[in-house]
Amino acid sequence: MSTPVALPPLIAILRGIRPDEILEVAKALVDAGIRGIEVPLNSPEPLVSIRRLTERYGNECLCGAGTVLKAAQVDAVAEAGGKLIVTPNIDRAVIARSVELGLQAVPGFATATEAFAAIDAGATALKLFPASTYGVQHVKALRAVLPGTKVFAVGGVGAHNLAEWAEAGIDGIGFGTDIYAPGRSAAEVGARATAIVSAWNQARGSVHA
């Protein structure tokens, strides 16, 4: 088993992206300072996009798949070069296979019970999803029992409310439509990503000041 590539604090979720636009959008993200890119498996030809993404930017950022629901999909993502496996739920088989292949396993959770089940299965980080439903107070309460585990907030988090999540002790954030939506130009994606990176750096600076 190889050591997983480091998990960056900001991950762009490119749900619906096509293989013919992945590289242009990825360049905009990397130029803006984003070092994590997720292609959900319910996107058009996701494995093609992941392969192109990892071949071009695999040395500059952590690339992989989201909405991974089965262990067999983990193998397919790994074969395409992906190093990141993100799920909307807790599936022990998916987590275990990801860990076995040396990939970052970031399953979705909501409760303390789910969090510890994921950790027990080998998860390298946790994804509070959907974050907007549970809120920052939920994170603050969970942090008391998850001091050594990285927790990401995904769903309803953007530049407008990023500061309150950083203050709550979140380790990272996954951004979907706040960064990318089908039909959005690479230039706009880059501008949105730049604003988010700036907001994150400012928020983290305020927390540690």
Three-state secondary structure call for residue 37: strand
Which is it for the CA torsion 109, 89, 77, 14, positive or negative? negative
Phi, psi of 68 (to 5 degrees): -85, 120
Out of 79, 100, 114, 127, the active site residue is: 127
Three-class DSSP category at 62: strand
Would strands 84-86 and 62-66 be described as parallel, antiparallel, or unpaired? parallel
Q: Is 27 a catalytic residue?
A: no
Of 21, 24, 27, 38, the active-site residue reads: 38
Given a contact cutoff of 8 angstroms between Cβ atoms, the answer to whether 72 and 24 are in contact is: no
C-beta contacts of 164-168 below 8 A and 24+ residues apart = 164/136, 165/131, 165/136, 165/139, 165/203, 166/200, 166/203, 166/204, 166/206, 166/207, 167/136, 167/203, 167/206, 167/207, 168/136, 168/137, 168/139, 168/140, 168/143
Q: Sign of the C-alpha dihedral, residues 126, 127, 129, 133?
A: positive
**Separation CA 72–CA 109 (nearest Å):** 21
Is 24 an annotated catalytic residue?
A: no
> Would you please indicate which residues are annotated as catalytic (active-site) residues?
38, 127
